[in-house]
């Protein structure tokens, strides 16, 4: 039976291999796998199940809805909610499985009142903004927040963390400045709340390049999926996703005819064009219009014309293609189809490729 739709092969064996490699880089530090945004487009429940089997300590997500999805899937590992706290969803912390993030004095007030009202301790991680400039307690306000926390009876501070702004850059001056600030926070915190268990700052880039930032917990994201934010592929990380779609139509064009929207491609000779069942509604970036490539059977074919919502046209280049042949957009063994290289070529970031994959793309979970 022909299943003419875009598909993403998800190699769970590679996912586990990537996790084991990252764990080997950080020694005894606990790994909190970042599985927000549907595990970067890979499917959060199969990914979480696979990483659980591999021995991961826990998971990080951004939204309460993502927390609930993991709980409903019977994931029992610790879950760190990285996002903002809402007084309307504090029940998600009741069981003690989910750790909240404290970003402000308001968070402390809401959590303490809720814990007091319901006779429970809420496990939390305190986030310090050491220079990222987004969420988190301002570095300058750290002392006053700690004073508030030491007076709370219904909040247990299990961890403290921060986030790098420039960990993937070759210029490490700002990264090191942030790390120095966080180390000062750690030292000071231990004096006021000596039973804090975890300190974490390292994302994927810092895990690979900055051992001094590993502490006793790390938060790998994109590296788990075999991609680095460092601009080039890593020999020990293998892509987990292969994005592909079938050839569904082959058509002969005469010289001077146009292909697709806005006549962005015109044939300069008689030419065979193949149509692939995928488009920007599936996550194929429009930046590939008239200059991207696909791989079919080990041969590279140019994308011609404009990427449309559902379809991509490719030039057959005098090769004989067949209906249902698999056109790979990224994730093949060809290094030119590694996302680090594609991102540089099209001036995007690899995260956009992965998280842009939509729900109508069929995921095939392969347990190598």
Which residues participate in catalysis according to the annotation?
A: 36, 261
Classify residue 122 as exposed, middle or buried by CB count within 10 Å of its CB (0-12, 13-18, 19+).
buried
What percent helix, strand, coil does the chain show, rounded to 5?
Answer: 35, 25, 40
- The first and second tokens of residue 215, run together, are 């502490």
- The first and second tokens of residue 109, run together, are 């007030």
Contact 181, 130 (CB under 8 A): yes
Contacts 24+ apart (CB under 8 A), 62-70: 62/36, 62/37, 63/36, 64/89, 64/92, 66/35, 66/36, 67/92, 67/98, 68/92, 69/44, 69/45, 70/35, 70/44, 70/45
Contact 255, 270 (CB under 8 A): yes
Residue with the two structure tokens 């599985």: 35
Dihedral of alpha carbons 88, 91, 96, 97, sign: negative
Please report, for residues 17, 99, 237, 313, 339, the alpha-carbon distance to residue 275 in angstroms, rounded to integers and kept in the order given.
35, 48, 32, 5, 23
Beta-carbon neighbour count of residue 250 at 10 Å?
Answer: 15
Q: Say how far apart CA 368 and CA 361 lie, in whole Å.
A: 21
Q: How many residues does the chain have?
A: 368
Contact 204, 19 (CB under 8 A): no
Residue with the two structure tokens 């309307």: 88
């Amino acid at each position: 039976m022909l299943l003419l739709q875009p598909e993403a092969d998800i190699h769970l064996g590679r996912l586990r291999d990537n996790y084991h490699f990252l764990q080997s880089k950080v020694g005894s530090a606990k790994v909190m796998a970042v599985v927000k945004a549907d595990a970067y487009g890979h499917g959060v429940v199969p990914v979480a199940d696979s990483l659980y089997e591999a021995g991961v300590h826990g998971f990080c997500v951004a939204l309460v809805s993502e927390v609930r999805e993991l709980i409903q899937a019977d994931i029992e590992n610790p879950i760190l909610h990285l996002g903002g706290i809402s007084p309307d969803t504090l029940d998600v912390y009741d069981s003690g499985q989910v750790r909240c993030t404290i970003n402000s004095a308001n968070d402390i007030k809401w959590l303490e009142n809720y814990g007091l009202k319901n006779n429970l301790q809420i496990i939390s991680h305190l986030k310090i903004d050491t220079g990222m400039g987004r969420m988190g307690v301002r570095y300058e306000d750290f002392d006053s927040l700690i004073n508030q926390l030491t007076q709370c009876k219904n909040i247990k501070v299990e961890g403290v963390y921060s986030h790098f702004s420039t960990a993937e850059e070759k210029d490490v001056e700002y990264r090191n400045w942030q790390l120095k600030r966080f180390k000062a926070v750690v030292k000071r915190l231990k004096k006021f709340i000596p039973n804090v268990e975890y300190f974490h700052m390292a994302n994927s880039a810092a895990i690979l390049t900055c051992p001094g930032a590993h502490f006793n917990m790390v938060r790998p994201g994109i590296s788990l999926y075999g991609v680095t934010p460092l601009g080039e592929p890593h020999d020990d990380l293998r892509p987990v996703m292969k994005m592909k779609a079938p050839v569904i139509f082959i058509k002969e064009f005469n010289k001077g005819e146009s292909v697709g929207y806005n006549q962005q491609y015109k044939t300069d000779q008689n030419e065979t064009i193949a149509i692939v069942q995928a488009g920007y509604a599936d996550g194929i970036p429009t930046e590939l219009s008239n200059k991207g490539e696909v791989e079919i059977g080990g041969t590279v074919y140019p994308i011609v014309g404009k990427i449309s919502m559902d379809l991509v046209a490719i030039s057959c280049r005098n090769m004989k293609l067949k209906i249902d042949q698999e056109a790979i957009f990224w994730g093949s063994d060809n290094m030119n189809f590694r996302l680090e290289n594609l991102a540089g070529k099209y001036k995007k970031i690899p995260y956009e490729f992965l998280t842009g994959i939509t729900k109508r793309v069929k995921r095939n979970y392969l347990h190598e």
